[in-house]
Amino acid sequence: MSTRGHAPSPAPGHDILARYLHAYVNARQLSDLERPWGLGNDGLDALWSRLTDALARNPKELNRLIASELTEEDRLHIARTITPLIFALPLRAYPSEVRAIRSGQHLILSLRHLPAALPASKPEKPTAEGWTLAKHVPEPARGKEGKEKAKDVPKGEEPMGHLPAALTPTFVAHLRNVLGFEEGQTRRDVTVSSGGRRRRVRVTMLARDRGIVVRFLERLASPADENR
């Protein structure tokens, strides 16, 4: 028996936004003191409830809703909420790299562990936002055709999950703003603190808003470590 055409392959990993919305629904039943980190902003209840309702009706329509019905401010709220969760990943080895690449209806996130540490760059003084900016690092050479494969998770990478592709430009713009990227700059080294973990990372913006690459270079000592 044969059929004409093929159904699109499911995106690798879990739906990160759906998991967050599920956690949000459960957290709404808890007191303010009991809520997990990142789930206590009552000012966003209307947005999270709207997304939860859309997810319950038809998960495949979530990307369309985010692209065509939400405001840019709404999309920015989502980016501001999800981004710290990515930077707080409990990594077991350094250096490691998180790739968020747009593919069809999804922004696909994957993780890979790199074989050797890269040379450290000299950091500059911290900014008002609490990020430590480092000197610009030139982009490495790409493949023979100068392109990066975005359709599937490459061999050797672990799928982390996916987000609606409509959020990609907002994620890129949000990180460029927070990390102090200059116009035309595609890469920056920073020191970030998120979820009690302090790391030196290298953030690369891919051309044409195709995604973001975050390379976790090393874990740094934090006040929490010193108090142990």
pLDDT per 10-residue tile (average), the chain, 228 residues: 45 79 76 52 79 87 90 94 86 91 93 72 42 34 37 69 94 93 94 84 94 94 64
Domain assignment present for residue 5? The answer is: no
Q: What share of the chain is helix, strand, coil (3-state, %, to 5)?
A: 35, 25, 40
Give the DSSP letter of residue 209: G
Instruction: Indicate if the alpha-carbon torsion angle 138, 143, 145, 148 is positive or negative.
Output: negative
Residue 90, judged by CB atoms within 10 A of its CB (0-12, 13-18, 19+), counts as exposed
The C-alpha torsion from 85 through 204 and 169 to 17, rounded to 10°, is: -20
Domain assignment present for residue 1? The answer is: no
* Strands (DSSP E) found in the chain: 14-15, 96-103, 106-113, 123-126, 132-134, 158-164, 187-194, 197-205, 211-220
Q: Give the domain extent around 48.
A: 14-226
Domain assignment present for residue 8? The answer is: no
pLDDT of residue 224: 58
Domain assignment present for residue 30? The answer is: yes
8 Å CB contact between 114 and 97: yes
Cis peptide before 223 (omega within 30 of 0): no
pLDDT of residue 68: 93
Domain assignment present for residue 137? The answer is: yes
Contacts of residue 132, Cβ cutoff 8 Å, sequence gap at least 6 = 123, 124, 125, 126, 190, 191
pLDDT of residue 11: 55
Domain assignment present for residue 7? The answer is: no
pLDDT of residue 193: 85
CA distances from 91 to 36, 95, 219 (A): 20, 9, 9
> DSSP 3-state assignment of 15?
strand
Residue 110, judged by CB atoms within 10 A of its CB (0-12, 13-18, 19+), counts as buried
Task: Say how many domains are in the chain.
Answer: 1
Cα–Cα distance measured from residue 193 to residue 199, given in angstroms and rounded to the nearest whole number: 7
Domain assignment present for residue 75? The answer is: yes
Domain assignment present for residue 3? The answer is: no
Q: pTM for the complete prediction? A: 0.72
